[in-house]
Chains A and B, each alone.
Chain A
């Protein structure tokens, strides 16, 4: 049926909309001989669960106690899972102590108990708080390892914090909340900046007390800022990587690689970082992850220092440990800072683009280059919560960070069947690539599937059935699990000439978002659209596609290594393949948007991924004519915030308030999916996806 300019309602009118999986196969909707990467019957039932894995407390450079941060994240903002990370190295403050409630205590003020009041914690009269030092609260005698800091403010090494003090609090919070709350670490990566990492081995056992000893050891061994040489005191760790030819670099006393600063430190540091990833893969291949964070922020790689990452470093990590290093956090936290994402003009790309770094934001850039190899390299976001800037932790405004779950959320497929959600399901979900990220509550359901069309069936029936399955999956926050179809992070193997059916179903949630502002979105006001900041509307979804041409050999330096824009860091085949909006999707009254189309006669291996925004194309200072996000710095001081309710903390330019800080972030929201791969028999193998 030819589509007209009007909204295509063909798919929505199908009476086949409520078919089960067995019915689809019985009706011959899907070709029986198409091979999917994994049989549907082998996949336990799963659900997309929301979480955050990068955030900070006073144990490093944050401002809250462990309990208050967890309460905000898993409590107030309702995340399903939460990984509390912290910078490696050391710190002088005791984040295990809760804040005092406001004095007089809340009951005396006749206030109801609030989810923002920390659970447990110390009574006000005891006068404890998480800014107190380890020295003043446990005494210097309890601090292990090499001495760091002063007698009045001794630093505790992060490995001891993890092992002895923080993990017990985390485990109790997890049990009390009946949610997986566990520990990670933001590694100061040797040769680079930061990495969000975790080893879940030992954490949150089904019964009894667990431990985070594996994570503690990894922190000692591989964090750039952990200069302790005590081998973890009574732990007596040895950081050798099984079978590595780099073990000769280990310091004899500290039994870890120690990289000297100065000339060559970046190169030497990268070697140590790769060793760390290899160590994780050797010892904890299924219970760890290593995800470079805000990787554009510190600029390009510096061979003589610790700055950012070029594409070759990401390839190195993934080559060394594909089950551990499988993606990046190119959507940074700090989304409400004046320099969005905390990216300065010195960042690769000069800043963020709609809140995302250029490595993922640019079509045909680094991310597409990696996907174009058929690599399992996936996209994640985080809060990187440290503080609220000019505002307190219980205020809704912020000039720095959003809380975990407040603005950005990772939706990760976790297959637990009928079992309780635990750490393994989360890590497996992250590794699988079956995940997506949304900011500002732009969407809260996504079903994205590619199926092989059955040539024996009329187009309409095929497409309608796939869409119906996608609709059903989205409604249950799960994915389509049908032989002959692939979801995010999976690959569909087809014969040449097979038509592909692509179906996307999202839900733009009704009601209000977490934005505290209800005045009109200043970015959209520029084009005459009035949309309350706390009631964002999904404007469009783009499908980005590219070809898979195979892994690049590391010996082919020109194709393997290079700065942004170089052939090594580009995929010229990646294009905007399709765009859907209110004219071309079918809208439901509950906020669902469904859209399905056919790619005829697939000839080459390829991938598809999605992005979407509340901002249409050609919004001044926000998007270009093709809908690509523009450099966020370009909007500084440019978008007027003239509504009477525009808050007083906005930047003023030319005598008037301009959209900035959290208002700018709430105005400009996106979602990114992870890719679905299609491997055409006889074309390039998508080697990174099993």
Chain B
């Protein structure tokens, strides 16, 4: 039987007067040990302080203060845990967890952890790992990268002004001089931007046009958010990753991805016992 609160602990009366929610050392981590409650304990009003509580308190204390707690300090730490447990149970009884997004997220997270503990990663052969790598190699390849300049267009110049501006730039003018007052501009420098970044920020057509530009020539290219006047400085072609050079990372990623799939399947399986109804969307 787990020991109850030791007789040498501070009296209950003084516990109620202590700042229960401001445990400087424990912060919120001590709740990690709340899973040791035995089934039915809530109903019997029994609070069990297990060896897990002591162990976790010692670890935290040592991590924070650099030494193990003495007996008096352990008493205080246990008392704090008991106080938090009381508040937790009282809080559940008062249903203060209802409607609290943070608590909801935390419960979901913990349920996921419990479920994950019951999942077992299947073995994978070297050939299987290679196949997985081939399917996902884009994630590991060194991407194509682009260095380019942008002569930032100021104001809202029309196409004719932009064309004149580009011509002036290619003839040797600086961006700040502009071909006309309406096309004065500033300079942005982009170094080593991966293709995916450009596609996301400017769109695929812009990226394709940039790639096709002769180096050192200014052009006005249309993007998903308007025209940008750019000059390609350098293209660095990417490299396909070799399995051997990233094998460790691939194995870790395969494990994460497989566990993710297993978790999803497990949740879906649990979900089969629920009936889900969707509200109709507004027209």
Contact = CB atoms under 8 A, between A and B. Distances in A.
B26 A576 contact: no
A103 B76 contact: yes
Contacts of B72: 104
Interface string A614-650: 0011111000111100000000000000000000000
Q: Which of B27, B156, B192 has the most CB of A within 10 A?
A: B27
Q: Which of B22, B72, B154, B174 has the most CB of A within 10 A?
A: B22
Given A4-B174, A131-B21, A576-B152, A625 B28 contact: no
A100 B154 contact: no
Nearest to A126: B17
A626 B150 CA distance: 10
Interface string A542-582: 00000000000000000000000000000000011111111
Nearest to A656: B256
Interface string A119-142: 000000001111110000000000
Interface string B161-198: 00000000000001111000100001111111110111
Given A2-B177, A624-B201, A391 B225 contact: no
A395 B22 CA distance: 11
B7 interface: no
B259 A528 contact: no
A600 interface: yes
A527 interface: yes
Contact of B19 (A100, A116, A575): A100
Given A2-B177, A584-B187, A655-B260, A620 B197 contact: yes
B189 A579 contact: no
A654 interface: yes
By Cβ-Cβ distance, the 5 closest A-B pairs, closest first, are A129-B19, A655-B256, A392-B27, A127-B17, A618-B201
Interface in B1-43: 14, 17-28
Task: Classify chain A's interface size.
Answer: 35 or more
B219 interface: no
Contacts of B145: 528
B202 A625 contact: yes
A394 interface: yes
A131 B87 CA distance: 13
Contacts of A64: 22
A640 to B, nearest CB: 11
Given A104-B72, A127-B18, A393-B24, A527 B186 contact: no
Interface string B140-153: 00000100001010
Nearest to B105: A338
Given A2-B177, A127-B14, A129-B18, A655 B26 contact: no
Nearest to A339: B101
17 contacts: A3-B177, A5-B175, A102-B23, A102-B24, A104-B72, A127-B14, A130-B19, A131-B20, A394-B24, A528-B145, A582-B189, A616-B188, A617-B201, A625-B223, A625-B228, A626-B225, A654-B257
A656 B252 CA distance: 10
Determine the main DSSP class of B at the interface with A: mixed
Contacts of B193: 527-528, 618
B102 interface: yes
B94 interface: no
B17 A392 contact: no
A104 B77 CA distance: 11
Given A4-B174, A99-B22, A391 B27 contact: yes
B73 interface: yes
B200 interface: yes
A582 B186 CA distance: 12
A25 interface: no
A45 to B, nearest CB: 34
Nearest to B75: A103
B197 A389 contact: no
B278 interface: no
Given A3-B174, A617-B188, A625-B228, A392 B19 contact: no
Interface string A650-690: 00001110000000000000000000000000000000000
Contacts of B158: none
A579 B225 contact: no
A390 interface: yes
B66 to A, nearest CB: 10
Given A104-B73, A127-B14, A625-B225, A584 B186 contact: yes
B61 to A, nearest CB: 10
A580 B175 CA distance: 12
A43 to B, nearest CB: 32
A627 B226 CA distance: 13
Contacts of A616: 188, 190
Q: Which of A103, A130, A578, A620 has the most CB of B within 10 A?
A: A103
A389 B102 contact: yes
Contacts of A578: 154, 186
A109 B65 contact: yes
B76 A577 contact: no
A116 B27 CA distance: 14
Nearest to B26: A392
Contacts of A116: 24
B188 A527 contact: no
B155 interface: yes
Contacts of A624: 201, 225
Contacts of A104: 72-73, 76
Nearest to B143: A528
Contacts of B176: 3, 584, 597
A582 B189 CA distance: 9
Contacts of A323: none
B174 A580 contact: no
Contacts of A580: 186
B189 A583 contact: yes
A178 interface: no
Contacts of B26: 392
Interface in A407-461: none
A540 B190 CA distance: 12
A526 interface: yes
B19 A99 contact: yes
Nearest to A58: B21
Given A2-B174, A392-B26, A395-B27, A618 B198 contact: yes
Nearest to B77: A103
Contact of A620 (B24, B175, B201): B201
A307 interface: no
Given A99-B22, A578-B154, A390 B187 contact: no
A25 to B, nearest CB: 29
B102 A5 contact: no
Given A392-B27, A620-B197, A128 B225 contact: no
